[in-house]
Structure 1
Amino acid sequence: MRKPALIRRAVPAALLAATAVVLTACGGGDATDDAASTIVRSTTSVAGAGVLGNGRSTENVCGPTAPVDPAGVEGATRRVAHAAGESAVPADPQRIVVLDTDKLDTVCALGLQDRLVGAAVAGAVGEQPTYLGTTIAGVEPVGTLAEPSIEKIAALKPDLILGSKFRTPELYAQLNAVAPTTFTEKVGTTWKENLVLDGTALGRGASARAALDAYESRATETGKGLDSAQTQASVVRFMPGSVRIYGPDSFSGQVLADAGVQRPPFQRLEGAKDRRFAELSTEELSKADGDIIYVSFYGDEAREQGTDVMEGGLWAALGAVKDHRVFAVDDEIWMTGIGVIAAGGILDDLKGSLNGYTN
């Protein structure tokens, strides 16, 4: 039964400070004593919001090298159908370039991070995501998601390129001339299908499916432990020059749904053509309210603008703000990660913020 109104619940005092959450990934890699391998986000509060993920460890985030699918041992290549056609790709690629953030997450989850020779970066950030650890953070940039550099990619001599028809449909022929290239159709809304397709192109479709199954089981169990159906969670993202709420078809919205978390009525975006997100004016901030609000910032400019909004009177009037149930989360994990490791990070954040977790 749908709840007729938002339910306000008291939050334990301990949750008003930043919560330390350790990211649980698909598997463990080689441990290291190098202090640089753990990236610690030390901020404890952003405009009154507690920060989730403080002290999140990036050691052992990437999985061990997944086994090659049996079909791949019969020859040097395999044929993979994808959004731009069909390609003959290496059965076990050794030099990989990825042109979207979800593919970074997948390569890491399958334990192929040491084979990455290049990756495009998000424009507002300008660097590789840190939640995947130092190996990924050190991967050579090859331009942005919207404008990858064919010249830089070619210089790296990849034997497989993973791209997105959504991002750069016009570049497929040029990319495929450099190395066998597969494209996924969309970004975010089809993240689970993308995981399996990219895993198949990497010669590890079976392991990608297994990682997805493990995540879905964990999401179900996490939701049960949190009694998550009793909470309507709001997801707010500050972009440079705009404020967005994220709906059920977004990546983070899908993870919340997998964990059984409910959404405020407006954020269900019922009847909307695009149920990924909606933009709000500052006068419409009441639509961002919920039992709990998760806030992220896309880059430094958005953080400055978002902080100004969160220090204003309209934001202060929100029920979740009054109840001290607002949490700043990592944009890399909640928004741009779009993969199974990032999804696990969202589940960790839920465990660090929703009431009723008993495990």
Structure 2
Amino acid sequence: MKHNWIKGIIIALLCMAITACGTASKGSKDTDSDKTVKQRVVKTVMGDISIPTDPKRVIGLSVVYPEFIYALGIVPIAEQNYHTDFPSYLAEPFKNTIKMGIAKTPNFEAILAATPDLIIAPEWWSKKDYDQLSAIAPTVLLPQHDDWRDELRDIGEVFGKKDQAEKVITDLQTKVTESKKTLDDLVGDETVMYMRVMAKEVIIHGIKSDRGNLIHVQLGLQPVPKIAETENTLSISLEVIPEYNPDHLIVQLDDESDEVKNRFEEMMNSSLWKNLTAVKEKHIYMMGGKEWFNLGMSPLANSFAIDAVLEAFKNNKKG
């Protein structure tokens, strides 16, 4: 009971701080200093709101929004993180970015302490918290899209960087097209399976998942016949992997936990695994977990993955 009482006081104090910040922010509109900050009106799912024309301290809620923001040339001051460390392609630019963890509810205390001048968040995740967020800083909620390109375009619209957003999309497509030709020369019609080892299960990504689409459709790596008909993903056991028996196997360990590592080690020690064609031919390509976490959902993650796949298959060919 004592802990609940203390927790209640902490929550109350946090709410008071957020409210005070919001009140001060609203009241400061009449001050001379605030009048020097240029504003522009943007359309959001919550209606038109006024935001700084050139925001300096931006927070993107969701694990993928910070990547969109950085793709447009802006380093977020704080972001939600699933893994302890940022993926390697963000490690240097995000070295001063605050990690806020990830939960069902935003870390309001961390957001408040970061003193943002703009918050961008997806409607599906943050609408329930809009009042608290907008009390801290102007908050733009954006609609959910099936295609990351449309999400990037929306964020480009917010920052007045529509042309830059289109360039990111075009540049990545050029890279995809060129990489597909290279991989076709390297692999041809040999089959490739993309397997993701997680703590509770092992998943094969089909061509209709975001991840599988990049590997098999955009990059043109031939899936095994049964996977070609998979709607999205397929949870499998070690015993059935020989039924697919791919020529090449891309393996992603979902994280660096002992549970995931032990699961994969058990697989590798199995005679079923050792008799796979890809294993016998040494066509196993290990990919980073956190680097591939946003695969299929971010131009930065996709670009990094394409480079990793190209390097893996090129090195294998040399060997």
- Deviation per CA, 1:137-182, whole angstroms, max 9, x where unpaired? 4311123154430121122221222223454553344323322333
Q: 1:312 to 1:161 in 2, by over 3 A?
A: farther
Cα separation, 1, equivalents of 2:61 and 2:239 = 37
Q: Which of 52, 69, 79 matches 1:90?
A: 52
Q: 1:107 to 1:322 in 2, by over 3 A?
A: same
Partner of 1:160: 118
Q: 1:222 to 1:183 in 2, by over 3 A?
A: same
Q: Residue type of the partner of 1:132?
A: L
Partner of 1:107: 69
Partner of 1:265: 225
- Find the residue that maps to 1:293 and give its secondary structure: strand
* Range with greater deviation from structure 2 (195-204 or 209-218): 195-204
Cα separation, 2, equivalents of 1:232 and 1:91 = 50
Q: Note if contact 2:176-2:219 (Cα within 8 Å) is conserved in structure 1.
A: yes
Partner of 2:42: 79
Q: Note if contact 2:88-2:291 (Cα within 8 Å) is conserved in structure 1.
A: no
Cα separation, 1, equivalents of 2:104 and 2:244 = 29
Where structure 1 has 5 or more consecutive residues not aligned to the other structure, the ranges are 1-74
Q: Which of 61, 69, 89 matches 1:131?
A: 89
- Find the residue that maps to 2:100 and give its secondary structure: strand
Aligned pair count reads 274
Pairing of 1:217-232 with structure 2 (within 5 A): 217-227=174-184, 230-232=189-191
Q: 1:243 to 1:346 in 2, by over 3 A?
A: same
Pairing of 1:1-359 with structure 2 (within 5 A): 76-82=39-45, 87-113=49-75, 116-122=76-82, 125-144=83-102, 146-186=104-144, 189-227=146-184, 230-256=189-215, 257-270=217-230, 272=231, 275=232, 277-286=233-242, 289-301=245-257, 302-336=260-294, 338-354=297-313
Q: Residue type of the partner of 1:226?
A: L
Q: Residue type of the partner of 1:107?
A: I
Cα separation, 2, equivalents of 1:198 and 1:331 = 26
Q: Residue type of the partner of 1:93?
A: P
1:343 offset after TM fit, Å? 1.1
> Which protein is richer in helix relative to its size?
2
Cα separation, 2, equivalents of 1:236 and 1:342 = 17
Relative contact order, CA 8 A, sep 6+: which one is greater? 1
Query: Could you say what the CA RMSD is over the residues aligned between the two structures, in angstroms?
Result: 2.8
Report the structure number with the largest CA radius of gyration.
Answer: 2
Q: 1:233 to 1:334 in 2, by over 3 A?
A: farther
Q: 1:237 to 1:168 in 2, by over 3 A?
A: farther
Cα separation, 2, equivalents of 1:177 and 1:206 = 31
Percent identical pairs in the alignment equals 23
Cα separation, 1, equivalents of 2:240 and 2:127 = 35
1:210 offset after TM fit, Å? 0.8
* Range with greater deviation from structure 2 (233-242 or 160-169): 160-169
Cα separation, 1, equivalents of 2:166 and 2:107 = 31
1:287 offset after TM fit, Å? 5.9
Cα separation, 2, equivalents of 1:290 and 1:170 = 45
Partner of 1:37: none
1:186 offset after TM fit, Å? 4.7
* Range with greater deviation from structure 2 (313-322 or 171-180): 171-180
1:120 offset after TM fit, Å? 0.7
Partner of 1:60: none
1:183 offset after TM fit, Å? 4.0
Cα separation, 1, equivalents of 2:248 and 2:47 = 43
State the TM-score, normalized to the length of structure 2.
0.75
Q: Note if contact 1:108-1:132 (Cα within 8 Å) is conserved in structure 2.
A: no
State the TM-score, normalized to the length of structure 1.
0.67
Cα separation, 1, equivalents of 2:221 and 2:143 = 28
Q: Residue type of the partner of 1:92?
A: D
Q: Residue type of the partner of 2:111?
A: I
Q: Note if contact 1:220-1:260 (Cα within 8 Å) is conserved in structure 2.
A: no
Cα separation, 2, equivalents of 1:287 and 1:106 = 39
